[in-house]
Amino acid sequence: MKYRRLRDLREDKDLTQTQLVEILGMHKTTYTNYEQGKREIPFCLAIQLAEFYNVSLDYIAGLIQYPRPLKPDQKNQ
């Protein structure tokens, strides 16, 4: 996982860690450890974050350089 991407995605949404953990329903210390690379992110949380940020798991995992949306832009349909 590219832990830096977790922080970047959160900051791109103008969210603090406190705001995000309230949305996710988890302890701040736990999430902070994920964002700092001190703990591995559970797969189910990686999926939840990918859906929340509308980016592919490949991007969160660091397998691709640029985010790819999970869902197409609804405005263009």
Model's pTM, two decimal places? 0.84
- Whether residue 40 contacts residue 1, with contact meaning beta carbons closer than 8 Å, is answered with yes
Class of domain 3-71: mainly alpha
Task: Please tell me the predicted confidence (pLDDT) of residue 51.
Answer: 95
> Of the ranges 14-18, 58-62, 69-73, which is most confident?
14-18
Determine the average pLDDT of the residues in 69-73.
78
Whole-angstrom Cα distance, residue 71 to residue 67? 12
Instruction: Using the predicted structure, report yes or no on whether residue 75 has a pLDDT greater than 80.
Output: no
Whole-angstrom Cα distance, residue 25 to residue 2? 22
Q: Hey, where are the domains in the chain?
A: 3-71
Residues 42-67 have pLDDT tens digits of 999 999 999 999 999 999 988 999 88
CB neighbour class for 18 (10 Å; exposed up to 12, middle 13-18, buried from 19) = exposed
